Structure 1
Amino acid sequence: MRVFVYCIVLLSVLVGCNQSPKNGASPSPTNDTNRQIQVKQTAPQKKEIIDSRAVSERLEQIATSIPQVESANCVVFGNTAVVGINLPPEMDRSKVGTIKLSVAEALKKDPYGVDAIVTADMDLSHRIQRIRDHVMNGKPISGFATEMAEIIGRIMPQIPRDVEPAPAPESTEPQMPNANL
């Protein structure tokens, strides 16, 4: 009886290893490992920005087309855009996040806005607006440097080793000895 069971198991293993494809095609040859498959890129490609002012205005228009976005300011440097959106100040934080996401999705559909950075922070948006104003007035480098210095100064903590003690004021009054000693 044991021999019979062993024969059935052995026969089923041998039959299972020798199955051909179900659609009736012959098995593929084993030397196909050198074939390469080429796939077309399906992700949207970012276009090179040539006229940064036109792109800036275009991205601002896209951002302001989203409901409840009061205004938008965009600064383009290189092939990257930073878009600051202004929303009503009384708006709930979760709603702000939803609108910011909506603006990002709308910008993603534009070939220039694929990699744009969107912020709804009021201070950063105001600083982006000031950088944009400097760019429009023909002072892009000085405006950018000034605003970046202010942003970094606000973010960076005071480093203790850089703090110099304030000079002690000179007084003409005689010092009273401390009575609590």
Structure 2
Amino acid sequence: MKKVVSLLCLVLFISGCGAGNDTSQEEQEHRVNVQDSTNGQINREESEDRSRHLAKLAEGIPEVDNATVVVIGDFAVVGIDVNEDLDRSEVGSIKYSVSESMKDDPHGANAMVIADPDLTARLKEVAEDFSNGSPIQGIMNELADITGRIMPEVPADNLEPHPKNPTEEPEDKLNESEENKLDKTQNQQSNYHKEN
């Protein structure tokens, strides 16, 4: 009886192995090779060259102590270090100057400039990860998180050019006689101030 059970187990094992081989051949015939299209299109060396170029442009602006840039394809994020004693309006002016310095550069025309110390520190880590060969998808996720902290969420209703239910009625236009009367009054007032 033991021999029959052992023989039966052996037959089932062999037939199971044979079925596994048929399945794997079938799988191999129908297997589709997928490549990561993001990695295939990103040239890390070229991106790092662009990053260094944009960092030099940013560092050429007065009050910018240091700049960190990550460029991936057409997407660029520029983090600038400025003096912490500057007030918000001065930092805004510096960010604007950095943006202006890049607007004519094909690699920096759409760059997002940040001056927040925490986000710039995170951007430095992302730049380091990029240089060390970390996967592009992870880097893109991190950049999306950084830029998401800057850009506000806007409800879709606010993006419509004409709201569905306006809060105010549009003012009626003046008829022609009222418009002429208004023009006459404005001219008289303007001439009155010229004479005095």
Normalised by the size of structure 2, how large is the TM-score? Answer: 0.48
Does residue 1:135 correspond to 2:127, yes or no?
no
The whole-number CA distance in structure 2 between the counterparts of 1:106 and 1:141 is 28
* Pair 1:57–1:146, CA change in 2 (3 A): same
Does residue 1:111 correspond to 2:110, yes or no?
no
Deviation digits for residues 6-41 of structure 1 (CA, Å, limit 9, x no counterpart): xxxxxxxxxxxxxxxxxxxxxxxxxxxxxxxxxxxx
Aligned to 1:63: 58
The whole-number CA distance in structure 1 between the counterparts of 2:144 and 2:109 is 28
The whole-number CA distance in structure 1 between the counterparts of 2:146 and 2:57 is 26
The whole-number CA distance in structure 1 between the counterparts of 2:114 and 2:144 is 19
Aligned to 1:98: 93
* Pair 1:142–1:114, CA change in 2 (3 A): closer
Q: CA deviation at 1:146?
A: 7.4
Instruction: Work out the percentage of aligned pairs sharing the same amino acid.
Output: 45
CA-atom RMSD, angstroms?
A: 2.8
The whole-number CA distance in structure 2 between the counterparts of 1:61 and 1:69 is 10
Q: How does 1:1-181 map to 2 (within 5 A)?
A: 51-141=46-136, 144=139, 147=142
Paired letter, 1:121: D
Q: Any idea what SS the aligned residue of 1:115 has?
A: coil
The whole-number CA distance in structure 2 between the counterparts of 1:141 and 1:70 is 28
Q: Where does structure 2 lack aligned partners over 5 or more consecutive residues? A: 1-41, 151-196
The whole-number CA distance in structure 2 between the counterparts of 1:148 and 1:87 is 21
Q: CA deviation at 1:147?
A: 3.8
Q: Where does structure 1 lack aligned partners over 5 or more consecutive residues? A: 1-48, 156-181
Normalised by the size of structure 1, how large is the TM-score? Answer: 0.52
Paired letter, 1:69: V
The whole-number CA distance in structure 2 between the counterparts of 1:116 and 1:151 is 13
- Contact 1:82-1:116 at 8 Å conserved across structures: yes
Paired letter, 1:114: A
* Pair 1:104–1:145, CA change in 2 (3 A): closer
Number of corresponding residues? 107
The whole-number CA distance in structure 2 between the counterparts of 1:117 and 1:144 is 16
The whole-number CA distance in structure 2 between the counterparts of 1:151 and 1:109 is 25
